[in-house]
Copies of this chain bind each other. A is one copy, B any other.
Amino acid sequence: MPAPATSREPSRPRPKGETLAVLRLLAQLGADHTAVVLTSREVGERIGMSQQAADRYLVALEKRGLLTRSMAQRRQRLSLTPAALDLLRAEYHGYRRLFEGPARLTFEGKVASGLGEGRYYLSQPGYVVQFAERLGYTPYPGTLNVRVEGEALRRVGLVAHWTGIRIDGFQASGRTFGGATCFAAQMNGHACHLIHPDRTHYKDVVEFVAAVRLRDALPVRDDDTVSVELQES
């Protein structure tokens, strides 16, 4: 019998030991946006470990795809990968929440027409039962898509690190349906939820569900600009 599908997909295994310290040091020295020239000895000194240990961390980080090393025989040029920055940002957000409380975010976007996928997914009982239970309502069977551009897109990407309401993936009809995380939102003042699928590949469109058909309730049509307020839970 397989394990229950209650696993929380987006909670990565916590990086162990001084891995984060090394990544943070490199980021502080600018390896997040430019290549940085450092010897393993220098890295070790700053973290408080031997040259050998520092070197092993650097090698391990490269193997895990968190660090790019271009070895110039003498010295190595180090730069962090986007995955490493994601890791650091998740860590940052964990601390931020401690001292600043749940995050909020306001952005604007334009209503876009989807491909009708939303209706298909939101008619799957596996999703409906979870939405009803965890959001407190049965969503209207269809999503409202909002296209986000430019700087706002980057900000909206931060929700990937937020804690929200989990919707678990499941198997049905011989295929797999992925999980997602939901965040309470107000669109033009109307309560709804942003749906952030686990398998998101940095799109410029975000999806919303609500108890009613948002296009009628707001009301809005394609290309109308809407204002969204998000709240971490």
Contact = CB atoms under 8 A, between A and B. Distances in A.
Contacts of A92: 92, 95-96, 98-99
Count of identical protomers in the assembly: 2
Given A14-B47, A14-B48, A99 B89 contact: yes
A99 B157 CA distance: 14
Nearest to A92: B95
Interface in A58-97: 88-89, 91-92, 94-97
A24 interface: yes
A187 to B, nearest CB: 27
Greatest chain B CB density within 10 A among A14, A48, A92, A97 is at A92
A219 interface: no
Given A13-B48, A48-B13, A24 B98 contact: yes
Contact of A95 (B18, B32, B95): B95
Interface of A: 13-14, 16-18, 21, 24, 27-28, 32, 47-48, 88-89, 91-92, 94-99
Q: Which 5 A-B pairs have the closest CB atoms?
A: A92-B95, A27-B98, A92-B99, A95-B95, A14-B48
24 contacts: A13-B48, A14-B18, A14-B21, A14-B47, A14-B48, A16-B18, A17-B17, A24-B94, A24-B95, A24-B98, A27-B98, A28-B94, A28-B97, A88-B95, A88-B98, A88-B99, A89-B99, A91-B95, A92-B92, A92-B96, A92-B98, A92-B99, A95-B95, A96-B96
